Structure 1
């Protein structure tokens, strides 16, 4: 019986700590990670689009940047959508 009472008290304490943690604003380290995640979600599609577009442009005859510019713009749109969805979920 004593073990059960101890377990219940520890569980209640843990639940109170979790609820308190949820209600507190994020610290500077949490905000740093959050901002870094948003940055990666936005920048990664742009960079991939630039590399893929540059590679496709080297396959074309002559000087062309059509694929590069097009895929960078697509990367910006995709990155913006990624950030929007991430913010909606969190």
Structure 2
């Protein structure tokens, strides 16, 4: 078993501290992104469906044309939101 001198031990501990600090910094930066992915995906869909339902209520008779159309539009917007958030 090799015996380390004090300088080698100091260098090893400094490398470990730097590695731990880098991991903590990266972990803190990724948490807000993960937490908001669901919101940036779901909120446009919910808003679009709500708007579509409101528009369908303004049309005479039973219709879901606007609701379904805006559902897909909200889905596309949500996908783009997630893409641009991950791209950052």
The normalised TM-score by structure 1 is 0.66
- Write out the 4+ residue segments of structure 1 that deviate beyond 4 Å after TM superposition: none
The superposition leaves residues 37-82 of structure 1 with CA deviations (integer Å, 9 ceiling, x where unpaired) of: 0000000000000100000000001000000001010000000000
**For the residues of structure 2 that align with 1:85 and 1:34, how far apart are their CA atoms?**
11
Equivalent positions of 1:1-90 (< 5 A) are 21=21, 23-24=22-23, 25-26=26-27, 30=31, 33-89=32-88
| Unaligned stretches of 5+ residues in structure 1 | 1-16
Aligned length: 69
The normalised TM-score by structure 2 is 0.68
Tell me the CA shift for residue 36 of structure 1. Answer: 2.4
| Unaligned stretches of 5+ residues in structure 2 | 1-17
